Each structure stands twice: as structure tokens, then as C-alpha cells.
Amino acid sequence: MSETARPHDVMGEAHALTLDAADPLARFRDRFFVPVESVYLDGNSLGLLSVDAERAVLDALQAWKVKGIAGWLDADPPWFTLGETLGARMAALVGAAPESVIVTGTTTVNLHQMIGTFYRPDGVRRKIVATGLDFPSDVYAMQSQIRLRGGDPDGDLVLVPSRDGRTIDEDDLIAAMTDEVALVMLPSVLYRSGQLFDIPRLTGAAHAAGALIGFDCAHSAGALPHAFDAWNIDFAIWCSYKYLNAGPGAVGALYVNPRHVGAEPALAGWWGYRKDRQFDMVHDWEGAAGAGAFQISTIPLLSAAALLGSLAIFEDAGIDAIRQKSLDQTDYLIALVEGLGLTEAPYGYRIGTPREHHRRGGHVAIEHDEGAGIALALKERGFVVDFRQPDVVRLAPIALSTTYHEVWRVAQALREIIDTGAYLEVKASGPVT
Ligand SMILES: Cc1ncc(COP(=O)(O)O)c(C=O)c1O
């Protein structure tokens, strides 16, 4: 804002258009299929299809059509090593050595693989530390892995509670890392509030306590830079269907620190066998070098193909520029909500996401006691958002495809929905997702 600009100008539509005109990533929007007549703010849940991903899937279909089974070795790139090829490209995005990342499985399956492998209860060291605000699938996976080891989740799973219902105090996590803890398993970003954890700090604390530490990066991969090797985490898993735009249920990814190379996977499968001898078909396990050993099954080719296309966009745009715009847009959204007086009566919105950049992921949690009705009213107006119980409307401006003008528009809609009482009129026809 120039020194002569008046504060109210920053709230205006013209300012949004000025921001769009100056946006260095604006050109990427045209590479996405943005649903018509809607403002898509749900890329933190399901990313949009890109022209690049569509092309890559069509190319994979064509290869299948003309080559049949020969595509495993003859396609470009060969399907047989596609998990490794994609893993090496994904590694650049998450700050890891190429062989430390593999594209395989799905989020929860990879979680089971990693926890099964790296949760090694021994004597009194039997606990897993997680958060009381974790995504349910992570908790279910930890509970079942504890049971598989003969433990009792009631005693062995420590879900560190939130003090404010939306964030987790890192000091509380560190205090829970006692000498009874075998594994610390945390989200990088909390799915509801969008709180981003200080991963290096928590990693140092876990290691100092003698525990291993892994991260579920489903809500940070593709939204912000990572430095897995430098942070020295033990492992990570993430999905590619949110910020990475590889499509519904698309293949996931995992990272294993180089010091764990050679660790025996809890769940072995032939796809993790060393590639050069996989077709020897012998029954004695010999795992691939690096993260590849943790693959279980044949790579799902079509969703992996989509990721080939999608990653090209990230390589083009650069994750630092993506993060910068994401922070600018979430800052802008928060400033609009506050600047329009929406956190005051009669509006009553609350910002549930930390203000500090180093504690914020890619979305903004707008809380409201009438959040479910507000989310529905937003949807009626073409704003694609989601609602998470009990009171959170999640709004994710996506750096590659969302305009500042769209951010401005959703803030106006938040006001209008209260002004008109529209949130009271909408009738839920089913669960608000
Ligand atoms: C943080 C987190 N973990 C795990 C999952 C489960 O993912 P999947 O259904 O791919 O196993 C999700 C899904 O949204 C998630 O957000």
C-alpha cells in the first residue's frame, strides 16, 4: 500500500484487481479447469484438474492403447519405474534426496506402512505421541498399529490435547515426549485450523527424548516448501490429491530418512523388491535401495500419470513463489475479514488460523457458531468451500489458480450472508462436506 492510500482503499474491489494485475503466478490459472461460475476454495481437500495432468493421463491411456503390456518398459516414462521417477521429482519439492521419496500407495496405507515399520515398542518405551486434533484416519491407524503390537491404545496412544480447541501448543507436545515414547507421529499442518508446526524443533525434541518422529504432510505438500533431509525427520507420508492436484484418490507418497535405508518394511510386497531382480520371482525378500523398498503393490498408473503432469506445474512455478502467494492471499483474506468488521457484532466470525506466517499452512479457518449454514449459503452462491465440525468453514485460496478478486468476493459474501440472514434459510439436505 502506498503511503497516500487510504485504509479503506485496501478493502475495495479495485485493490483486488490491482493485486491480480501484479501477480507473478497469475498465468498459471489458465492451466487449470476451474469449474464454471464458481469460486474454488477447496483445493486443500481436492485440487483441480490441470491441462497438464489431463494431457499426461491421455498420454498414458494412449500408451496403454498402443503398447499394451509393453508399456511397463517402453512407455515414456516407463511404468515399471514410475514410482521412482515421480519420487525423484517429488523429492525436489520436499527437500529430500531423490531415492528417499517414493510415489506409492495411499495416505492411510502409507501411514500404516510407516508406523508399522518405525513404531518399535520396547520395554517401557511403548507410547506414540500424537495430537488431539489429528485427522481421524491417522488416529485409527495408530490405534490399530498399537493393538497389532499387543498394546492398548488407551494407555499407549497419547493424544496431546488442545488448549484452545483449534491449535496445539508445541511445548505441550514436547512435554509429552518422555522416555516412555517410542514414536511421535504428527501432522505438519492441522487439517481444521491450518496450524503449521515447527517441524525442526519438534524433531530435535523427539530425538533428544530417544523417540523417532514422522509427519503426515497431507496439508502441507504442494502448499509450502519442506526440507525433510535438513529437518532430519525419520519419515513422512502425504497425498497428491489436495494441493498437488493429481485427482481424487490419487497415488500417495512417502519419505524415509537415508539413515533408515535397509529397515525391513512392516508390510512387504513385490513392488518394493529391488527393481533389477523383481522378475526373478524368488521368495526371499531383498528390498529396493531407498524409499522404494516401502512400496507394496503395483503403481496405479492413471493417477500416477496425472501427477506427472501436475508436478510439471510445480517445477515451473517454484514452491517458494507458491508459498509466497499463498501467504499473501491468506493474509489478504484475514485482513478483509477483519477490515470489513466481520469479526465483530453482528457478524461474529473468528479467525481460527494462526496469524504468524511460520505457524500457518495453506488455508484459513473461518469459525462461526452458524458455520454449517454459512458454508451451505456460500455454496449456493458458487463458492466451493468445506465445513468441518463443529464450527469451521475452511477457505483455501490456491496460489496456482485463485485470484485476489475471488478472495475479495468471498469476504463480501461472508458479510452478505449474515446481513441477509441467508445462513438461516438454507436447509441442509445432507452432511455438509
Ligand atoms: C491429514 C490427513 N491424513 C489422512 C487422510 C486420509 O487420506 P486417505 O483417504 O488418502 O487415506 C486425510 C484425508 O483427507 C488427511 O487430510
Catalytic residue among 28, 80, 119, 135: 135
Which residue, judged by its Cα, is nearest atom 14 of ligand 1? 45
Q: Would the pLDDT of 34 be above 90?
A: yes
371/354 Cα distance (integer angstroms): 19
To the query of whether residue 229 is one of the catalytic residues in this protein, the response is no
Choose which residue among 44, 107, 188 to substitute to test ligand 1 binding: the one with the highest number of ligand atoms within 8 A of its C-beta: 107
Q: What is the pLDDT of residues 232-284, one digit of tens each?
A: 999 999 999 999 999 999 999 999 999 998 999 999 999 999 999 999 999 99
To the query of whether residue 394 is one of the catalytic residues in this protein, the response is yes
Q: Give me the pLDDT at residue 6, please.
A: 54
Distance 217 CA to ligand 1 centre (A): 10
The reply to whether ligand 1 has any atom less than 6 angstroms from the CB of 191 is yes
Choose which residue among 191, 392, 433 to substitute to test ligand 1 binding: the one with the highest number of ligand atoms within 8 A of its C-beta: 191
The reply to whether ligand 1 has any atom less than 6 angstroms from the CB of 238 is no
Q: Give me the pLDDT at residue 9, please.
A: 87
User: Average pLDDT in the 159-171 region?
Assistant: 98
Terminal C-alpha separation, the chain:
37
The reply to whether ligand 1 has any atom less than 6 angstroms from the CB of 107 is yes
Do 238 and 122 meet the contact criterion of CB atoms below 8 Å apart?
no
Q: What is the pLDDT of residues 313-348, one digit of tens each?
A: 999 999 999 999 999 999 999 999 999 999 999 999
Distance 218 CA to ligand 1 centre (A): 7
- Integer-rounded Cα radius of gyration of the chain: 22
The reply to whether ligand 1 has any atom less than 6 angstroms from the CB of 99 is no
Q: Give me the pLDDT at residue 427, please.
A: 58
The rounded mean pLDDT for the chain is 96
To the query of whether residue 216 is one of the catalytic residues in this protein, the response is yes
Give every CB contact of residue 176 below 8 A, 6+ residues apart in sequence: 129, 158, 160
Q: Give me the pLDDT at residue 412, please.
A: 98
User: Average pLDDT in the 193-220 region?
Assistant: 98
Q: Give me the pLDDT at residue 378, please.
A: 97
Q: Give me the pLDDT at residue 425, please.
A: 85
Q: At what angle are helices 404-419 and 319-339 packed, to 10 degrees? A: 30
212/209 Cα distance (integer angstroms): 9
Catalytic residue among 42, 52, 138, 216: 216
Catalytic residue among 242, 325, 388, 409: 242
Rounded to 5°, the CA angle 264-269-271 comes to: 105
Of 75, 34, 31, nearest in space to 305 by CA: 75
Distance 304 CA to ligand 1 centre (A): 17
Q: Which helix (H) or strand (E) holds 26?
A: none
The reply to whether ligand 1 has any atom less than 6 angstroms from the CB of 38 is no
Q: What is the pLDDT of residues 89-130, one digit of tens each?
A: 999 999 999 999 999 999 999 999 999 999 999 999 999 999
Distance 387 CA to ligand 1 centre (A): 16
Q: What is the pLDDT of residues 386-422, one digit of tens each?
A: 999 999 999 999 999 999 999 999 999 999 999 999 9
Please provide residue 364's backbone torsions phi and psi, each rounded to the nearest 5 degrees: -115, 130
Q: What is the pLDDT of residues 52-93, one digit of tens each?
A: 999 999 999 999 999 999 999 999 999 999 999 999 999 999
The closest-lying atom of ligand 1 relative to the alpha carbon of residue 239 is 10
More confident residue, 270 or 8: 270
The reply to whether ligand 1 has any atom less than 6 angstroms from the CB of 44 is no
Q: Give me the pLDDT at residue 1, please.
A: 44
The reply to whether ligand 1 has any atom less than 6 angstroms from the CB of 218 is yes
Q: Give me the pLDDT at residue 428, please.
A: 54
Q: pTM of the full predicted structure?
A: 0.96
Q: Which helix (H) or strand (E) holds 242?
A: none
Q: What is the pLDDT of residues 170-190, one digit of tens each?
A: 999 999 999 999 999 999 999
Please provide residue 284's backbone torsions phi and psi, each rounded to the nearest 5 degrees: -90, 130
Q: Which helix (H) or strand (E) holds 40?
A: strand 39-40
The reply to whether ligand 1 has any atom less than 6 angstroms from the CB of 271 is no
Max Cα distance, the chain (Å): 75
User: Average pLDDT in the 360-381 region?
Assistant: 97
